[in-house]
Chains A and B, each alone.
Chain A
Amino acid sequence: MTMTKATDMTGSSASGKMNFGQLARDNGTFLALIALILINMIITPNFLQVQTLYVNLTQVATIAIVAIGMTLVIASAGIDLSVGAVMALSGALAPFVFLSEFGMASPGLALVLSIAVALLAGLLCGMFNGWLINQFAIQPIVATLVLFIAARGLAQVLTNGNLQVFDNPAFEFIGSGRVLGIPFQALMAVAFALILSWVVRRTAYGRYLLAVGGNAKAARLSGISVNRVRLATYAICGVLAGFAGMVVSAINSASDANQTGQLMELDAIAAAVVGGSNLMGGKAPIIGALIGAAIIQLVKYTLLANGVHDAVALIAKAVIIILAVYFQFNRSE
Chain B
Amino acid sequence: MNKVDLVLFVEDSPVDAFIHRKVITMSGLSNNMHHCTTGREALNFLGAISPGEPVPDLIFLDIRMPDLDGFEFLEQFERLPDRIKSAAKIVMLSSSIDESDLKKARSNPFVLAFVPKPLTIEKVTELFG
Whether A and B are associated in the same complex: the answer reads no
Residues of A within 8 A of B (CB): none
Residues of B within 8 A of A (CB): none
